[in-house]
């Protein structure tokens, strides 16, 4: 938290704190940090991937899909093709997990 006190508006610092909260399994606190980051620095595109993964871990798949979709829009707007591709991949993976097979 020392870095945060010196740089409370730095999105990278906030992002790192959120990741540390995930690592320590403090999911609610991590989600708070990620949410604040999307509100204060919506163009910090790396947030969307990890926030979506956290939401999946918390069994909030619909919220994760929304976050991935929002991240894809941001990545597209910023012309960040790598981030867009990663977000599209996890979004599609999540969608495919909901596919249901029907017997003929």
What ranges do the domains of the chain cover? 2-97
pLDDT of 7 strictly over 70: no
Up-side HSE of residue 21: CA atoms within 13 Å toward CB?
A: 19
Residue 34: how many other CB atoms lie within 10 Å: 25
Per-residue pLDDT, averaged over 37-42, amounts to 96
- Report the distance separating Cα 12 and Cα 71, nearest Å: 16
pLDDT of residue 87: 97
The C-alpha R_g of the chain, in whole angstroms, comes to: 15
Q: What is the CA angle 97-69-89, rounded to 5?
A: 50
**pTM of the predicted protein model:** 0.85
pLDDT of residue 85: 97
Per-residue pLDDT, averaged over 10-21, amounts to 93
For the 2-97 domain, the top CATH level (class) is mainly alpha
Per-residue pLDDT, averaged over 35-51, amounts to 96
């Amino acid at each position: 938290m020392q870095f945060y006190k010196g740089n409370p508006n730095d999105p990278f610092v906030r992002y790192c704190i959120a990741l540390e909260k995930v690592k320590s399994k403090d999911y609610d606190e991590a989600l708070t940090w990620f949410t604040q980051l999307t509100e204060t620095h919506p163009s910090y595109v790396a947030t969307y991937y990890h926030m979506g993964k956290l939401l999946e871990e918390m069994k909030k798949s619909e919220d994760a899909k929304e976050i991935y979709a929002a991240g894809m829009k941001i990545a597209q707007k910023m012309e960040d093709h790598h981030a867009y591709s990663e977000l599209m991949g996890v979004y599609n993976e999540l969608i495919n997990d909901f596919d249901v097979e029907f017997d003929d």
